[in-house]
Amino acid sequence: MLICTNNCYNVSGIYDEVKNMNENFEKMHNGELYLPNDRELAKLQMKCLDRLYDFNRTRPTEMAKRQELLKEMFAEIGEGCYIEPPFHANFGGRHVHFGNHVYANFNLTAVDDTHIYVGDHTMIGPNVTLASAGHPVWPELREKEYQFNMPIHIGKNCWLGAGTVVVPGVSIGDNTVIGAGSIVTKDIPANVVAVGNPCRVMREIGERDKEYYYKDRKIGDAK
């Protein structure tokens, strides 16, 4: 375990206090419009961001320290997860749930104003954004800084290519591959390859994928 110094914060205690006392906290997680500039929420957020700052400052050789920080930062994180710094998150991962053996490359951005779920063995390419937060289209509400949040669900054994953006409320099924640069605005089913802006299903994952890993290159002994 990490030894707490003056820079180590009891984020969980503050989180529980806000959760029990703050109406805006409830609205954060039920999809209602709310004002995110709430003082207590801001206090919680700053504590979470301090832990995120500590994580991003770690050296590549400090793997054990990174793992302990992730356990403090995330809502849930399974065994064998690896996140390549820098990692960016509105609440420092406080509302992010990773299964086992999830890999995230450089510059994962988790707009985790509400919950983001990622299943076991999912791979996330560089510069991916998982955005749970949105704003009303009506200009007067945006001017007042209203916001709403919808959870994101990504299944097991998915692959999100570099530069993918997933918007609020989207679900992606197990084993699905999302092509690089895709903007995922609607749910994508399991066992498909999907790509584009907006992201659309191109094909199902099939028998040929058992034999070829790239164009005409055969898998051979790898399986």
Rounded CA separation 213/215 (Å)? 7
Joined together, the tokens standing for residue 88 give: 């960016």
How crowded is residue 12: how many other Cβ atoms within 10 Å of its Cβ? 11
Active site residue 97: no
Q: What angle do CA 177, 185, 195 make, to 5 degrees?
A: 35
Structure tokens given for 52: 């995120």
Residue by residue, DSSP assigns 112-144 as -SS-EEE-TT-EE-TT-EEE-EE--SSHHHHHT
Q: Which residues are catalytic?
A: 135
